[in-house]
Each structure stands twice: as C-alpha cells, then as structure tokens.
Amino acid sequence: MSENMRTLGMIGGTSWHSTVEYYKLINQGVGEKIGPQENPPLILHSINIALMREQDKEKINQTYLEISRKLQHAGAEALIICANTPHMVYEYVQPQIEIPILHIADAIGEKAREYGITQLGLLGNKPTMTGDFIPSYLQNKYQIQTLIPEGYGIDRSHYYVSKELTQGVFSREAKSFYKDQIIGLQKRGAEGIILGCTELPILLSQEDSEIPLIETTQLHAKAAIDFILSE
C-alpha cells in the first residue's frame, strides 16, 4: 500500500503545538484506513513562529514561497499549511508552484455544506478574523457569510491566541471568554462557529456550544488523509 500513497509536504511551526496535532492526526487517520503497520510519506518544514509575529506580509509571502518550492523539489505532490493564519499567503504562493495547496477554507466550506449552514462565526487571532483570506474564499466558493466578534472581543481573542494558546496554555479564563463569544455570535445569526486557531479545538469541545463547532484542524487533516490515499 505504501507505494500507492502520495507524498504530502507540511509547512508547520506556527505554532509547533498545532503542527504536532496535524502530524498525529494525519498519521492516525492513514493508519485507520490502511492499518497501523504503515504510515504516510510526509515532508515537514517547521517555520519559526517569530516570522508571523513580525507581521511583514512581503517577508511572510516570500518565505512561504521559498519553502513551498523546496518541498515541491523534494518530492511533495501537494502542500498543507498547518495553521489558519498563514493561509494569507495562498493567493501569492499557489500560482507560483506546480502542486496544489490544500486550502483550509475548503475543509470548512465542505463541512458547512453538510450542515446546511450559510452563516458562520469566526474565532481566532486578529489577522485571521479581520483578514479576508478565509471569509472571501468561503463567500466566493461556498456562498457562506462570516461574522467576527465585536468590540474588545477581537483584541481579547488575539491576546489569548498569541499569549496563551500558541504557547500551550489553556486557561479557564480563555475558555469562559470563548464560550461567551460563541453565544454572542449565535445571537447575531451565526449557525455554526469556525474554530479558526488550530489550538482552539484543544480548548473547546462541542459540549461548549449549542451550535456546531467547525474544528479546522480535524477537517484539514482529513483533507490531507484523503489526498495521500487518493489515486
């Protein structure tokens, strides 16, 4: 079976906690399909998370393009970016490489279609919530509208993601905050919630919400598994 598996390039490190989760889920998922005696061919490049914190978009774009080309040259047949925020580079990088990037918004959009959802709340860090790279993709391809927190909610969510979650801290205060945000988004019309930080599904579970929580990490990893095992 291993000869038939396709090689996936993984760009991780932002944060390494989410990268570990991706690596585990992809290996486990493939093992469940073909048996634990084999594991998939993966090529991982881990980026220093400081790159994202500098918020230099040109530097981020160039770095991801360089790494994508290296992974392609090393034999990757597709790429997965192991976090939400770095998908900001998709429109810049994808046209300049010859292999597909498995976009996280496709995983979100397909799941929302299953639920029959057309309006989603989005939680994550500030660049993910205020940027257009996930909302525009969902709107253009899936006709899904996206809502984000109001007022202090954006800055507070960014604080919890950058200062706690991406550093492996999962506090009661953060959980309480996000549960309140989910309720607020639901009242404004959200039919489901995108957990748009790959550490959020570690903090929250479906029991914490009356409406569906769309766990981007799990769904994105499933898309990777499907690609690896595709003909």
Of 74, 177, 27, the closest CA to residue 66 belongs to 74
* Contacts with 128 (C-beta within 8 Å, 6 or more apart), sequence order: 84, 85, 122, 134, 196, 197
Query: In angstroms, rounded to a whole number, what is the distance separating the alpha carbons of residues 17 and 34?
Result: 26
Domain identity same for 132 and 164: yes
Domain identity same for 6 and 67: yes
Tell me what percent of the residues of the chain surpass a pLDDT of 70: 99
Domain identity same for 121 and 32: no
Give the domain extent around 163.
105-215
Q: Which residue has the higher pLDDT, 172 or 201?
A: 172
Looking at residue 18, what is its pLDDT? 80
Paired residues of 194 in beta bridges:
122, 214
Domain identity same for 49 and 72: yes
For 68, counting Cβ atoms within 10 Å of its Cβ (0-12 exposed, 13-18 middle, 19+ buried), the class is buried
Domain identity same for 151 and 120: yes
Query: In angstroms, rounded to a whole number, what is the distance separating the alpha carbons of residues 90 and 97?
Result: 11
Q: What pTM was estimated for this model as a whole?
A: 0.86
Domain identity same for 135 and 167: yes
Looking at residue 2, what is its pLDDT? 55
Looking at residue 3, what is its pLDDT? 65
Domain CATH number, residue 42: 3.40.50.1860
Domain identity same for 139 and 40: no
